[in-house]
Amino acid sequence: MNFRIYHPAATLVPYVKHYYHLQNAQSGLINLPQNLFSLGDLYMVFLQEGEVTFQPSQHASFTLPAASVVGHFTCHHQIRVKGPVKMTVVQLNAYGCYKLAGLDMSAFNNYYRDLQKHNHAGWHQLTQDLAATADPISLDITLNNAFTTMIAENGHSLKQVDEVADYMVRHQGYINMDRLTRKFKTSRPTLERKFMEVIGITPQLYARMLRFRDAMRNMQKMNVEQWQSFITTNDYYNHAQFIQDFQFFKGETPVTENMPIIAQMRPMAVA
């Protein structure tokens, strides 16, 4: 398997986080690299060859078209990739898709949109340019040029949601909603409406996702005894809350009959 990671142009940060290119000549089902699709971000997928199918635990499965954007993954999901496969993946932050494409994200999480059905001609051109790029080393140049042009031409207003979301990320989701609305001088219904339009989930769910993601990052570096202490002393999680969120985001339970926490937990993809 040939798997490359690229960094976007500085002018595209923070909307675009990474570019990935995966190429595998083998037929059949393929295991994707860990963290290619992770909790908390959006992803554009440009598929030049092969088949990619997502199966969210709370939704019907779907197979991606040639150019699409997927996310937010707010429930457990499985991914099946059938090769030979060649695809380019763009990792976006929470509001990156709205900035680049201007799509209303309110009915979007755990599903996808076909970018070639979007009325911006740039998506058709980018899909063709990526398919015509024989040398993967130059893929980042193609993507940088396309996204830089789109931002300059479209200029979709993020409605202050980027400022609120960045503030929540800095605090890892440990925020109070009432304090948040006072800080940004807005009402709770207005903030929720803007979040749904620009990010696709409520600020409460986004904060919950950030808290869980932060806990998982920390806990993947710990042993069992340290986990139990972390859950007890953490500002957000107690055992019951952690188990509830683990089931919600990962689709399984971390408890056994004999131990409060599973001794060996598979790593979870976190952005």
Q: How confident is the model at residue 30 (pLDDT cuts 50, 70, 90)?
A: confident
pLDDT digits (tens, 9 = 90+) for 140-160: 999 999 999 999 988 789 999
Phi, psi (rounded to 5 degrees) for 166: -65, -40
Tokens read off for 37: 């699709």
pLDDT category at 28 given cuts 50, 70, 90 is confident
* Span 37-41, average pLDDT: 81
Domains of the chain: 2-154 (2.60.120), 159-264 (1.10.10)
Q: Write down the pLDDT at residue 268.
A: 45
Query: In whole numbers, what is the pLDDT of the chain averaged over residues?
Result: 84
Binning pLDDT at 50, 70 and 90, where does residue 265 land? very low
Q: In the beta sheet, which residues pair with residue 19?
A: 6, 90
Mean pLDDT of 125-134: 90
Single pTM value for the model:
0.86
The CA distance from 53 to 177, in Å, is 36
Coil, strand or helix at 4: strand
Confidence check: pLDDT of 259 > 60: no
Q: Which backbone phi and psi does 13 adopt, to 5 degrees? A: -80, 135
Q: How does pLDDT run across 165-184, given as a tens digit for each residue?
A: 999 999 999 888 999 999 99
Which residues fall within 8 angstroms of residue 202, CB to CB, at 6 or more apart?
Answer: 192, 195, 196
Contact 51, 81 (CB under 8 A): yes
Report the 10 Å Cβ neighbour count for 260: 15
In the chain, the percentage of residues whose pLDDT exceeds 90 is 47
Among 210, 212, 207, 159, smallest CA distance to 186 is for 159
pLDDT over threshold 50, residue 264: no
Write the pLDDT tens digit of every residue in 78-123: 888 998 999 999 999 999 999 998 888 887 777 889 999 887 788 9
User: Smallest Cα–Cα separation from 150: which of 124, 117, 113?
Assistant: 124
The answer to whether 116 and 65 have CB atoms below 8 angstroms apart is yes
Q: What is the mean pLDDT of residues 37-56?
A: 89
